[in-house]
Amino acid sequence: MRAFTFERAESVRAAAESASNNPEAKFIAGGTNLLDLMKLEIEVPTHLIDVNGLGLDKIEVTSEGGLRIGAMVRNTDLASHETVRRDYGLLSRALVAGASGQLRNKATTAGNLLQRTRCPYFYDTAQSCNKRMPGSGCSAIGGVTRQLGVIGTSEACIATHPSDMAVAMRALDAVVETTRPDGTNRSIPISDFHHLPGDSPHIETALEKGEMITAVTLPKPAGGMHIYRKVRDRASYAFALVSIGAIIQADGTGRVAVGGVAPKPWRVDAADAALAKGAKAACAELMADARPTDDNRFKIALVERTLAAVIEETRDKP
């Protein structure tokens, strides 16, 4: 790990200003992803800004009847919160599926959204990776791609986004709240927050330099049955081959978001509209533009089978 300087921010704006003034700065909260990347010298910040003491650790009901989740709320506290478990069960289930208890005790809401891909070529500094070193190429293309993306990818990158929580947030129509270095605030729909790679896969989110996540807001509860189903190579805290986050109403209509298949949580309006017709119809819309490799072509069928299991689960329950 390379040497770095450190400060504890006194306010959100001060943190954003500090990050803006130092091009090699990074915010740190739980550090569950950042510190690992620093040890591997994939991330090499020269300055860390501790944002834990800024009072962003509260969960509050909004005036519209939704929920405002502070950026520093720990995953454990969010998953176990009474309102989240009752009204946003999809989020609670996704968080519990996402990591061990030790990690959930440290990981934060904002950090979960910002975690970087677990593509093995990103983590192997001997390999070319356009996320790690823009313009160097993508060793994953033509390599071992079983775990990697089948849709939303590009000629520059086929990595997937690793977050389980983000899949639930996408199905719930969350909005990411931020503060810029000049003190102005911004609200970014979760659908626009994560970028597809295109020819610049190193630009992963809509955040500007120094912009800091302060909260994530959820609309009023959607009702229906909330299900999160994750398919992985082992039962113990592996990243998803495919995951399904669904909210399904009594008449079979609903919303579905997919993880493990794309560079961002994958949701398609046409798939939501087709959900009442069954898994096959919804999956045809979800995977309409898929470009799988021979290694990961199975993911398309796996999405359909997993969604079918989710739909069947809703029928089995009163």
Give the pLDDT band of residue 315 (cuts 50, 70, 90).
Answer: confident
pLDDT at residue 207 above 80? yes
Give the pLDDT band of residue 318 (cuts 50, 70, 90).
Answer: low
Biggest alpha carbon–alpha carbon distance for the chain: 58
Task: Catalogue the E-assigned strands of the chain.
Answer: 5-8, 25-28, 47-50, 59-61, 67-70, 175-179, 185-189, 212-218, 225-231, 242-248, 254-259
Q: What pTM value is reported for the model?
A: 0.96
**Using one digit for the tens of pLDDT, what is the confidence trace for 210-262?**
999 999 999 999 999 999 999 999 887 789 999 999 999 999 999 999 999 99
Average pLDDT value for residue range 29-53:
96
% pLDDT > 90, the chain:
95
**Using one digit for the tens of pLDDT, what is the confidence trace for 122-173?**
999 999 999 999 999 999 999 999 999 999 999 999 999 999 999 999 999 9
For the purposes of burial, counting CB atoms within 10 Å of the CB of 308, is it exposed (0-12), middle (13-18) or buried (19 or more)? middle
pLDDT at residue 186 above 70? yes
Please count the other Cβ atoms lying within 10 Å of the Cβ belonging to residue 96: 16
Query: If you search the block for the tokens 């306010």, which residue do you land on?
Result: 11
